[in-house]
């Protein structure tokens, strides 16, 4: 499942926002369906990052979205 998030990050960095966002939505749908894994995204730092991701998407700053995913969210999932 983490590989889907990594793919999303890579696509966003390559300027393929549509596909990157589609992969991100797919990842979140599957991830949040599992309540045990979803609990990993409840830390204050991650919740702030998720809010910043939503704001960055709204203004079209997809490199910032990729940074937040790679440096805040992804490490929480890898090192649980």
Task: Please check the confidence at residue 80 and state whether its pLDDT lies above 70.
Answer: no
Listed in sequence order, the residues at least 6 apart from 29 whose beta carbon sits closer than 8 Å to its beta carbon are: none
Q: Are residues 65 and 53 in contact, defined by beta-carbon separation less than 8 angstroms?
A: yes
pLDDT tens-digit series, residues 4-44: 899 999 999 999 999 999 999 998 888 778 766 666 666 67
Residue identified by tokens 């894994």 is 37
Residue-range definition of the domain harbouring residue 27: 2-78
Mean pLDDT score across all residues of the chain: 86
Q: How many domains does the chain have?
A: 1
Long-range contacts formed by 22-30: CB under 8 A, 24+ apart = 24/65, 24/69, 27/1, 30/1, 30/4
């Amino acid at each position: 499942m983490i590989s889907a998030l990594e793919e999303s990050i890579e696509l966003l960095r390559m300027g393929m926002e549509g596909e990157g966002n589609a992969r991100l939505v797919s990842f979140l749908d599957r991830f949040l369906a599992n309540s045990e894994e979803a609990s990993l995204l409840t830390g204050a730092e991650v919740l702030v990052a998720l809010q910043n991701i939503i704001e960055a998407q709204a203004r079209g700053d997809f490199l910032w979205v990729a940074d937040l995913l790679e440096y805040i969210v992804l490490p929480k999932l890898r090192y649980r």
